[in-house]
Amino acid sequence: MKAGFTKAAGRCLVASATRREKTVLAVILGSTMEDVWDDAEVILRKSLDS
């Protein structure tokens, strides 16, 4: 997992999750929202459920 923020790039987050033998990645770049962690969780959960 890697998170970062600069004025030029905005909020950025790269995260992964594994369930059973399936691994998925969430990449959020240039977000202006403070809740990138929540957004990443939604992306990861929906990806693992599909």
**pLDDT confidence of residue 34:** 84
End-to-end CA distance of the chain: 22
Q: For the full predicted model, state whether its pTM sits above 0.85.
A: no
Q: Looking at the 3D structure of the chain, how many domains does it have? A: 1
**pLDDT confidence of residue 13:** 92
**pLDDT confidence of residue 17:** 96
Give the integer Cα–Cα distance in Å for 19 and 48.
7
Indicate the residue type of 10: G
What is the DSSP code string of the chain?
A: -EEEEETTTEEEEEEEEEETTEEEEEEEEEE--S-HHHHHHHHHHHHHH-
- For the stretch 4-50, pLDDT in tens is 888 889 899 999 999 999 999 999 999 988 888 999 999 999 999 98
Decide if 29 contacts 9 (C-beta within 8 A). Answer: yes
Residue 23 is part of which domain span? Answer: 2-49
